[in-house]
């Protein structure tokens, strides 16, 4: 099936002479594989995801997403590729106010190969499958749990090769965190997307067969 993600000698620092915030020898993720990446707060977990998505530029190294060198692309070409190949789930959801839940999902399909005439139906079908019963309501009128479901639908709407989840349960209480992860992992399995989840929550470990620590990357990851 091929690799969804391949990272080689990736480094990032905020100042030319400063410490490396991200320093990874190698990391790969097969199509459909799910990996939990752990690290203490401030270790660079979110920065790594932004580098993978092409939202920040590395100081060195290479990031391949679905075989494409992300940082070899420029401008709208990178935006278009990201829109097709990468789904993102943020801890604060980042849903757009002024748009309905369905419209938030439809906006994610703008750069996809999915015909525009099918966007509305796919958005509504995804939201129904994930248990969102008010697809035409704006996000601010939905519960936190429902907003999480909209964010997951948006992340997988384009059938991406890779989903990046940044502390996806940080804003949820423990009772709802498990359900949220069931939702995220299940949606990725249903669509065939690989999942890279970063978190400092130790209870997440039991959910993933493969785990790695940012502090140890460059060493063998646990399988």
Q: What confidence tens digit (pLDDT) does each residue in 49-65 have?
A: 999 999 999 999 999 99
pLDDT for 68-109, tens place per residue?
A: 999 999 999 999 999 999 999 988 889 999 999 999 999 999
Domains in the chain, number:
1
pLDDT, residue 135, reads 97
Other CB atoms closer than 10 Å to residue 157's CB: what's the count? 24
pLDDT, residue 1, reads 57
Q: Is residue 222 part of a domain?
A: no
Q: Is residue 176 part of a domain?
A: yes
Beta strand 34-38 with 68-69 is: unpaired
CATH of the domain at 50: 3.40.50.300
Q: Is residue 178 part of a domain?
A: yes
pLDDT, residue 39, reads 79
Between helix 119-129 and helix 144-156 the angle, nearest 10°, is: 130
Q: Is residue 198 part of a domain?
A: yes
pLDDT for 111-169, tens place per residue?
A: 888 999 999 999 999 999 999 999 999 999 999 889 999 999 999 999 999 999 998 88
pLDDT, residue 102, reads 98
- Structural domain that includes position 211: 3-93+144-216
Q: Is residue 14 part of a domain?
A: yes
Buried b (16+ CB within 10 A) or exposed e, 161-186: bbbbbbbbbebbeeeebeebbebbbe
Task: Give me Rg for the CA atoms of the chain.
Answer: 17
pTM of structure? 0.91
State the Cα–Cα distance between residues 90 and 52, nearest whole angstrom. 14
Q: Is residue 113 part of a domain?
A: no
State the Cα–Cα distance between residues 99 and 44, nearest whole angstrom. 32
Q: Is residue 134 part of a domain?
A: no
Could you tell me which of 212, 214, 155, 179 has the C-alpha nearest to residue 34? 212
């Amino acid at each position: 099936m091929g690799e969804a993600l391949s990272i080689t000698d990736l480094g990032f620092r905020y100042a030319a002479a400063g410490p490396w915030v991200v320093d990874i020898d190698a990391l790969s993720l097969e199509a459909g594989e799910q990996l939990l990446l752990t690290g203490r707060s401030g270790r660079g977990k979110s920065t790594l995801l932004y580098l993978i998505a092409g939202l920040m530029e590395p100081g060195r190294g290479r990031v391949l997403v679905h075989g494409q060198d992300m940082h070899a692309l420029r401008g709208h070409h990178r935006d278009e590729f990201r829109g097709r190949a990468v789904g993102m789930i943020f801890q604060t959801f980042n849903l757009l106010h002024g748009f309905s839940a369905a419209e938030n999902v439809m906006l994610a399909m703008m750069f996809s190969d999915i015909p525009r005439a099918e966007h509305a139906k796919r958005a509504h079908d995804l939201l129904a499958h994930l248990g969102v019963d008010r697809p035409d309501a704006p996000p601010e009128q939905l519960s936190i749990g429902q907003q999480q479901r909209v964010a997951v639908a948006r992340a997988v709407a384009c059938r991406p090769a890779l989903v990046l989840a940044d502390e996806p349960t940080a804003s949820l209480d423990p009772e709802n965190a498990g359900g949220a992860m069931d939702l995220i992992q299940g949606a990725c399995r249903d669509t065939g997307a690989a999942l890279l989840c970063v978190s400092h929550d130790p209870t997440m470990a039991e959910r993933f067969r493969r785990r790695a620590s940012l502090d140890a990357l460059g060493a063998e990851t646990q399988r």
